[in-house]
Each structure stands twice: as C-alpha cells, then as structure tokens.
C-alpha cells in the first residue's frame, strides 16, 4: 500500500489543541493508520481530540508556518510538528 500524507485537525475545546494549534501532519497508509500512529506516538488524549483526518498533497501544506517546521514526510509517521517525529 502506498503512503499518503494526512492533515489532522483537533477539537477547539480540547486541551491538546493548545499544543498542536495548527494541526498535525502524518504520513500513513490510510486515515485509520494515521489515527493509530497518533495514538501510539502522541497518546490517547490527542487521538481522542481528532475532529478530522484528510488526505493532502505537499502543495497543500502551508508554506509560511508548516513547511519550514516539518520533519520527514516521506516516511510513515508524524512530520508536523517536527518535534513529534520518531522512527
């Protein structure tokens, strides 16, 4: 299965929204896999705060805030924020 990039939005009322204000970028097999990665890497509080997971292209990524601060988007895992990137 080919990997795809996803952008994840969080509930505005969630406490974790303060940490991940812009959202979270993740590369995964599908939206279900993206949710599983977030639960594994960032914990259940983040996973429970997800309001949407949508497939995106590199061209769709904000070039002023996200692109300069993103990690590797070609491997499976979290790439924004880059502090959350793990092998």
pTM for the structure as a whole: 0.90
Distance in angstroms (rounded) separating the CA atoms of residues 36 and 85: 15
Question: pLDDT value at position 83?
Answer: 64
Residues of the domain holding 26:
4-84
Distance in angstroms (rounded) separating the CA atoms of residues 33 and 26: 10
- Over residues 24-57, the pLDDT tens digits come to 999 999 999 999 999 999 999 999 999 999 999 9
First to last CA, the chain: 19
As for how many domains the chain has, the answer is 1
List Cβ neighbours of 56 (8 Å cut-off, separation of 6 or more). 5, 6, 7
Distance in angstroms (rounded) separating the CA atoms of residues 49 and 75: 24
């Amino acid at each position: 299965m080919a990997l795809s990039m996803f952008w994840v939005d969080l509930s505005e009322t969630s406490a974790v929204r303060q940490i991940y204000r812009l959202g979270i970028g993740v590369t995964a097999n599908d939206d279900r896999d993206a949710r599983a990665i977030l639960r594994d890497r960032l914990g259940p509080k983040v996973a429970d705060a997800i309001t949407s997971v949508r497939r995106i292209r590199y061209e769709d990524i904000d070039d002023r805030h996200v692109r300069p601060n993103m990690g590797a988007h070609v491997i499976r895992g979290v790439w924004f924020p880059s502090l959350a990137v793990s092998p």
